[in-house]
Amino acid sequence: MSVLKKVAAIHDISGIGRCSLSVILPTLSVMGIQACAVPTAVLSAHTGGFGDVEMRDLTDYIIPCFEHYHTQGIEFDAIYSGFLASKAQIDGCLAFFEGNKGALKIVDPVLGDGGKAYRTITPCIIDAMKKLVKYADVITPNLTEAAILLGEDFPHELSVQQAKSWLVRLSDNAETVVITSVPLLEGKISNLGYDKRNSAFWRVDCDFVPIHYPGTGDIFASILTGSLMKGESLPIAINRATAFTQIAVKTTYSYGTPAREGVLFEKVVGWLNSDVTLSDFSKL
Ligand code: PXL
């Protein structure tokens, strides 16, 4: 029996911009989870605001990496994927899923934000991502990604009834669906959860801050992953992820640093160890 739980984190690593593995690994480590990086690509910076970034694709590393772990009898308690740059990378995730049947499978279907797909996301990647989410236990789209996965137009607002219907429609195979950044209330954004097994809908509201920092979705999904791996309930996991992400966003906003640099993660990472008020959630 291993002392600590282990997750295979299948994501790219971007040197500048505090997203993907650059924030996922430290977040999970601080939470006491061993995060094993399966890098899908190396980038000088993320693709949102640094011009023509330098990139090396590692697609052909993913399946041999899985095979190596398999020959060594290394299994994971969870498999967690995020930004994927091609259909072949998505097939690599499926190999990890297939070879780790007992693992919790978390797919953060990174496709876009603010109503638009990221510029590297092609219709082929969208189709493959639609397939990947069908194999996941937990999915964490933001509102833009939820719309893309459901083939809906991006909604500028959503009623509680519509939100519940989207959560259920996304829960095809997943036991747990979390949609982030939903504008349910004036001046707030809400992170919504659906726990299919218990037929329960949850919401955690936080203040709307008028700036978008890349990487906040990665931080949110990592905390959610760590919390669920530790056996915490869905509303507690969403609350923990929301509370820390909000601290990171508000702290960064107060310093006025460029959005493209991401949140001031190193300044706030210590807060991950503090026990947030774990009661700021309610039924949706
Ligand atoms: O945080 C999502 C993300 C991950 N990886 C890369 C990105 C982005 C969002 O822009 O560009 C390379």
**Angstrom distance (rounded) from CA 16 to CA 85:** 18
Position 277 scores a pLDDT of 58
Q: Are 165 and 126 in contact, with CB atoms under 8 Å apart?
A: no
pLDDT, tens digit (0-9, with 9 covering 90-100), for 191-250: 999 999 999 999 999 999 999 999 999 999 999 999 999 999 999 999 999 999 999 999
Range of the domain at 219: 6-283
Q: How far is the CA of 197 from the centre of ligand 1 (A)?
A: 31
In 17-148, at which residue ranges do the beta strands (DSSP E only) sit? 34-45, 55-57, 78-81, 104-107, 112-113, 116-117, 138-139
Position 120 scores a pLDDT of 85
**Angstrom distance (rounded) from CA 160 to CA 23:** 32
Q: What share of the chain is helix, strand, coil (3-state, %, to 5)?
A: 40, 25, 35
What is the torsional sign of CA 208, 209, 214, 220? negative
The CATH number of whichever domain residue 128 belongs to comes to 3.40.1190.20
Position 276 scores a pLDDT of 63
Protein residue closest via CA to atom 12 of ligand 1 = 46
Residue to substitute in 23, 53, 118, 180 for testing ligand 1 pocket (most ligand atoms within 8 angstroms of CB): 118
Residue entry with tokens 């789209």: 141
Residue 197 within any structural domain of the chain: yes
Residue 208 within any structural domain of the chain: yes
pLDDT, tens digit (0-9, with 9 covering 90-100), for 164-189: 999 999 998 899 999 999 999 999 99
Mean pLDDT over 243-266 rounds to: 98
pTM over 0.95: yes
Residue 102 within any structural domain of the chain: yes
Residue to substitute in 10, 13, 16, 20 for testing ligand 1 pocket (most ligand atoms within 8 angstroms of CB): 20
Q: Are 270 and 278 in contact, with CB atoms under 8 Å apart?
A: no
More confident residue, 274 or 160: 160
More confident residue, 104 or 277: 104
CA-214 nearest atom, ligand 1: 1
What tokens appear for 96 in the block? 């990890």
Q: Is the C-beta atom of 108 inside 6 A of ligand 1?
A: no
pLDDT, tens digit (0-9, with 9 covering 90-100), for 63-91: 999 999 999 999 999 999 999 989 999 99
In the chain, at which residue ranges do the beta strands (DSSP E only) sit? 6-16, 34-45, 55-57, 78-81, 104-107, 112-113, 116-117, 138-139, 176-182, 188-195, 200-207, 282-283
Residue 47 within any structural domain of the chain: yes
Q: How far is the CA of 125 from the centre of ligand 1 (A)?
A: 14
Position 172 scores a pLDDT of 86
Give the residues across from 10 on adjacent strands: 38, 81
Q: Are 228 and 237 in contact, with CB atoms under 8 Å apart?
A: yes
Residues 6+ apart with CB under 8 A from 230: 5, 31, 32, 33
Structural domain count, the chain: 1
Q: How far is the CA of 85 from the centre of ligand 1 (A)?
A: 10
Residue 133 within any structural domain of the chain: yes
pLDDT band at 278 (very low <50, low <70, confident <90, very high): low
**Burial letters 139-173, b for 16+ CB under 10 A, else e:** bbbbbbbbbbbeeeeebeebeeeebeebbeebbee
Q: How far is the CA of 202 from the centre of ligand 1 (A)?
A: 27
Position 279 scores a pLDDT of 61
Q: How far is the CA of 166 from the centre of ligand 1 (A)?
A: 24
**Angstrom distance (rounded) from CA 205 to CA 258:** 25
**Burial letters 245-279, b for 16+ CB under 10 A, else e:** bbbbbebbbeeeeebbbbbbbeebbeebeeebeee
Residue 1 within any structural domain of the chain: no
pLDDT band at 156 (very low <50, low <70, confident <90, very high): confident
Position 109 scores a pLDDT of 97
What tokens appear for 241 in the block? 């992820």
Residue length, the chain? Answer: 284
Residue entry with tokens 């023509």: 52
Mean pLDDT over 34-55 rounds to: 96
Q: Please give the mean pLDDT across all residues of the chain.
A: 95
Residue 110 within any structural domain of the chain: yes
pLDDT band at 112 (very low <50, low <70, confident <90, very high): very high
Of 97-101, 110-114, 272-276, where does mean pLDDT reach its minimum?
272-276
pLDDT band at 2 (very low <50, low <70, confident <90, very high): confident
